[in-house]
Amino acid sequence: MQAVWIALTVLIVGGCIWSLIRRFTSKKTCCGTEKQPRIRAKKLSAPIGSLTVKIGGMRCENCRRSVTAALDALDGVAAKVSLENGTARVSFERPLSDEELAQAVESAGFEVLGIRR
């Protein structure tokens, strides 16, 4: 009986160690996305407006960085994304359609829940 308990304990501890090793050596984050480098805030020279995008599916800092990178990749657009609020404050220097914003967010693997102009 004691051998069974020892074997069970070894299996549980081994599983925990294996999980920790995978977590700390993986290139994936808690939500399965690739780790993103830190992003410097993009500055616009002459913004003509701003809007707020409600985003679903962000769970960690890496999610926030992924959304920021996707929106900042748009020409004439700069975003400040809040993980806590699940929103992105988007400033723009050119006319910007809701479809263009949604496509950028969705290409990063997240869902647009609403856009408030």
pTM: 0.72
DSSP string, the chain: -HHHHHHHHHHHHHHHHHHHHHHHH-SB-TTSPBP----PPP--SS--EEEEEEEE---SHHHHHHHHHHHHTSTTEEEEEETTTTEEEEEESS---HHHHHHHHHHTT-EEEEEE-
* Domain parsing of the chain, residue ranges: 49-116
pLDDT in tens, 80-113: 999 999 999 999 999 999 999 999 999 999 999 9
pLDDT in tens, 16-54: 787 767 666 655 556 665 666 777 889 999 999 999 999
The class of domain 49-116 in CATH terms is alpha beta
